[in-house]
Amino acid sequence: MKIRREILEHIVAQARKDAPIEACGYLLGEEGSITTALPMTNADGREDHFTFDPKEQFEAYKKAREWGVRIIGAYHSHPATPARPSAEDIRLAFDPEILYVIVSLAGNERTIKAFWIREGKAQEEPLVIEDREE
């Protein structure tokens, strides 16, 4: 999956700003390419779980339609744990067609990984970082 560096930096900045609670949002784009990150409010406000605000979630789908793209992923942060899906992340991954991106801030490092989660199993998807828009 392709993603521009500036989008990753935006996601990491949100994760740092929202810490210690989990940051979250949607990733919009086209097949094989993430073009936009839409930050969302973590309605739970917790360090170990996130839930999208329903009103913002509806607005995200409207924006995707208006912009002629689709929601191709969701992201969230793990402020103190590794960038891999937790058992709860896997249990709550209801859409097998979207990519799940996790940003870890554990140990003052940032790690970003992406996963397809299907039938209770997580498979890592490489992120191809682009430095400029093509």
- pLDDT reading at 78 higher than 90: yes
For residue 61, is it within any domain? yes
For residue 114, is it within any domain? yes
For residue 133, is it within any domain? no
What average pLDDT does the chain have?
A: 94
User: According to the model, what pLDDT value does residue 133 have?
Assistant: 52
User: According to the model, what pLDDT value does residue 89 have?
Assistant: 94
Confidence of residue 107 (pLDDT cuts 50, 70, 90): confident
Q: How far apart are CA 50 and CA 88, in angstroms?
A: 10
One-letter identity of residue 58: F
For residue 132, is it within any domain? no
Q: Which domain range does residue 77 map to? A: 2-126
Decide: pTM greater than 0.85: yes
User: According to the model, what pLDDT value does residue 108 have?
Assistant: 73
The number of angstroms, rounded, from the C-alpha of 120 to the middle of its chain's C-alpha atoms is 18
* Parallel, antiparallel or unpaired: strands 121-125 and 99-104: unpaired
Q: What is the CATH number of the domain that holds 57?
A: 3.40.140.10
Say how many domains are in the chain.
Answer: 1
For residue 131, is it within any domain? no
- pLDDT reading at 134 higher than 80: no
